[in-house]
Amino acid sequence: MEDSCNERLDFGKMGYGCKHYRRRCRIRAPCCNEVFDCRHCHNEATSSLHNVFDRHELVRNDVKQVICSVCDTEQPVARVCTNCGVNMGEYFCEVCKFYDDDLDKGQFHCDDCGICRVGGNENFFHCNRCGNFPARLRTFTFLPSLFGSCYSVSLRNNHSCVENSMRHHCPICYEIEETIMPDDLRYKKVWILCNDCNDTTEVFFHIIGQKCRHCESYNTRMIAPPVLP
């Protein structure tokens, strides 16, 4: 009986999803009531809308409804589908409303950061004194009262703390906003790997730098587009 239950939970694992995540559910965006595979798919679609006033980004914490990709049942956010009984995500975070079937990423939720990270909880520590999120980004990363950031354990006793650095204004953000890209590059998209949260996302190219859509860091590098299995 236990084996049968486990088989049901694992049904369809890694068989559904999008170019961003392998998962067995889609999300209903509360901002526009449309269904997307993930928040990155939503943001890519809405950021290219013809009417600039219709462009917007999804607040991941606001997601309330998901649709099982196996049986197409819409339901409140949860790990297991209420209809067919499959895990809609092998990794599931109720706080971030985040699903992912690919556990090789080593996902974990940091309560102090307020977001899910990858790379294995055992490989990171949270420093409450310093951080890499400027104050003007905290409203976009939904960390209004949290401070600090996660760092590799190799830096536990080997990094320089900059106290309350999250309260400082970010010159990179201001320079990007002031530097308008030429028309032939304004809508060019590139894939990036974030050196802070290790997330892979597709963003608009900018000569100054590319911002991670997951943790909002500019510590990123361009990579080749991912190849789906």
With a CB cutoff of 8 Å and minimum separation 6, the contacts of 80 are 9, 86, 87, 88
Average pLDDT over residues 14-24: 94
pLDDT digits (tens, 9 = 90+) for 36-90: 999 989 988 998 888 888 888 898 889 999 999 999 999 999 999 999 999 999 9
Quote the pTM value: 0.68
pLDDT digits (tens, 9 = 90+) for 125-157: 888 776 544 433 333 333 333 456 787 888 787
For residue 14, pLDDT over 50 is answered with yes
Separation between Cα atoms, residue 118 and residue 123, nearest integer Å: 10
Residue with more model confidence, 6 or 177: 6
pLDDT bracket for residue 109 (50, 70, 90): very high
DSSP character string of the chain: -HHHHHHHHHTTTTSSB-SS-B-SEEEE-TTT--EESSHHHHHHHHHT-SSGGG-----GGG--EEEETTT--EEES-SB-TTT--BS-SEEETTTTEEES-GGG--EEETTTTEEE-S-GGGEEEESS--S--HHHHHHHT-SS---EEEEGGGTTS----TTGGGS--HHHHHHHH-PPPHHHHT-EEEEEETTT--EEEEE--SS----TTT--S-EEEEPPP---
pLDDT bracket for residue 175 (50, 70, 90): low
Mean model confidence pLDDT for the chain: 81
Give the pLDDT score at 141: 37
Average pLDDT over residues 97-104: 95
Give the pLDDT score at 177: 61
Give the pLDDT score at 21: 92
Give the pLDDT score at 112: 85
For residue 167, pLDDT over 60 is answered with no
Give the pLDDT score at 95: 93
For residue 115, pLDDT over 60 is answered with yes
